[in-house]
Amino acid sequence: MAYARREFRESVERRQQADTREHATQLRQMAQAAVPIGKLTHSEEWNYFLSIVQESINRLGEELKALQAKSLSERTFEYTEMVQHKAQMIELVAQKLALEQVIDLPRQILEKGKDAQLKLDNLDDE
């Protein structure tokens, strides 16, 4: 009976060590990804790309406002027309949110990279 407990304890310890090593590998990858993203976001090409994406976001916002105003007008719509407007609005909102996430992605990668580096430093201290 004591042999089984010792074997179980050793098995759990081996699994924990493997998990820690795997986690450390993922953390290193996240920390390394932050470096190229940092370089990318300070380039003229990136700023140009962001300006194009921001223009698209602004255009989608204007289209959404126009469609909302059209949907709320006093003119009576047929049911199919109202459903089409609702579907178009959902599509515009989804496109706008996707583009906003594109703009925010480098910031998220940089933050995750910093967090990963802190966790790696803590692992090294243990």
Give 19-66 pLDDT, tens digit per residue. Answer: 666 777 777 777 777 667 767 777 788 889 889 999 999 999 999 999
Going by pLDDT thresholds of 50, 70 and 90, the confidence category of residue 125 is low
Which residues lie below 8 Å from residue 70, measured CB to CB, with a gap of 6+?
85
| Number of domains observed in the structure of the chain | 1
Angstrom CA distances, 47 to 6, 43, 54, 67, stand at 59, 6, 10, 30
pTM given for the model: 0.64
By residue range, what is the domain housing residue 38? 2-125
Which residues lie below 8 Å from residue 60, measured CB to CB, with a gap of 6+?
92, 95, 96, 99
Q: Which one-letter amino acid corresponds to residue 35?
A: V
Q: Which one-letter amino acid corresponds to residue 124?
A: D
